[in-house]
Structure 1
């Protein structure tokens, strides 16, 4: 039996918020969903991503705010286009609020070097990737002061970012 991912455990325990900051322009280059999309096949995330989307629906149904901010280089690359294309019918439909910040507009913001989730302003879940974008691990840190700093960084990005429905990628 496979253990439930740490992020899923943290979602299940969240009572106020789950914040996610993404800063890379490429993730998981070997991902079959990404590669199918590149070949023109529009897979059904309802099948493949059902566990995560159902978890988001359950979480937002309990009144927990789930927000995702993505910092992206413009003009966007093919991978960010893939993310953009699947966001509305899947992430947003599941209850996530998603915003996009063109990297040029992030100048002056203090942003951690790694992507992260913050749950209830208490727990940080760092996400680590290699230089090509492959996921290499995560680290849970239960340090409220660190979480506060990450929330401040996220909020600064969120304040400048463009809501998904208004963002027009270039």
Structure 2
């Protein structure tokens, strides 16, 4: 079953304990981000002090309710302009809101999740496959109807092989 609109938004409101994402692509092409990415690539300053979104508000609220939001981003160095944009525009305010973002840098080692595609895992029981074109354009979101156990294992591997976002950006590893 494909998820869109209200059905997709409901996934983020109805989970009981955890919403978690694996990000594997070097770039995502989302129409709502095009102007901001272009401005960033042109060297225009992004005012993070004014950044606020429904996403960060929801993450803050869910944290106070004892629910967690997290993700692991797989990447290689040097970081692309897109990743530098994503780090500054989204990851910094999202971690400040309480999202547990981790980085799995596979520049100098084999990727322990090679071949695994993007997905969301809700309460370690519901999986939504995030389907993209090779260039990062989203095709759709698909509710996975099989056994979630492999995705729970992917999450375990991703968490054990990654470092917290704040640790990653504070080191000399951003390239």
TM-score for both structures, normalised by structure 1: 0.84
Could you say what secondary structure the match of 1:114 adopts? coil
Deviations 1:85-139 (A, max 9, x none): 2245311122101111112466262455320110001111111111211112110
Could you say what secondary structure the match of 2:96 adopts? helix
Over 3 Å counting, the alpha-carbon distance change for 1:74 and 1:81 in structure 2 is same
Corresponding residue of 2:106 = 103
Whole-Å Cα distance in 2 between the matches of residues 84 and 60 of structure 1? 21
Q: After superposition, where does 1:159-170 map in structure 2 within 5 Å?
A: 159-167=160-168, 168-170=173-175
Q: Are residues 1:4 and 2:6 paired?
A: yes
Worse-matched range after superposition: 61-70 or 109-118 = 109-118
TM-score for both structures, normalised by structure 2: 0.81
Corresponding residue of 2:29 = 28
- How much has 1:48 moved relative to structure 2? 7.3
Over 3 Å counting, the alpha-carbon distance change for 1:46 and 1:58 in structure 2 is farther
Could you say what secondary structure the match of 2:112 adopts? coil
Over 3 Å counting, the alpha-carbon distance change for 1:46 and 1:155 in structure 2 is farther
- How much has 1:159 moved relative to structure 2? 0.8
Structure 2 contact 104–161 (Cα < 8 Å) conserved: yes
Unaligned runs of 5+ in 1: none
Whole-Å Cα distance in 2 between the matches of residues 134 and 42 of structure 1? 25
Worse-matched range after superposition: 18-27 or 111-120 = 111-120
The one of 86, 94, 98 equivalent to 2:97 is: 94
Over 3 Å counting, the alpha-carbon distance change for 1:139 and 1:158 in structure 2 is same
Unaligned runs of 5+ in 2: none
Could you say what secondary structure the match of 2:166 adopts? coil
Q: Are residues 1:72 and 2:69 paired?
A: no
Could you say what secondary structure the match of 1:166 adopts? helix
Worse-matched range after superposition: 9-18 or 21-30 = 21-30
Corresponding residue of 1:138 = 141
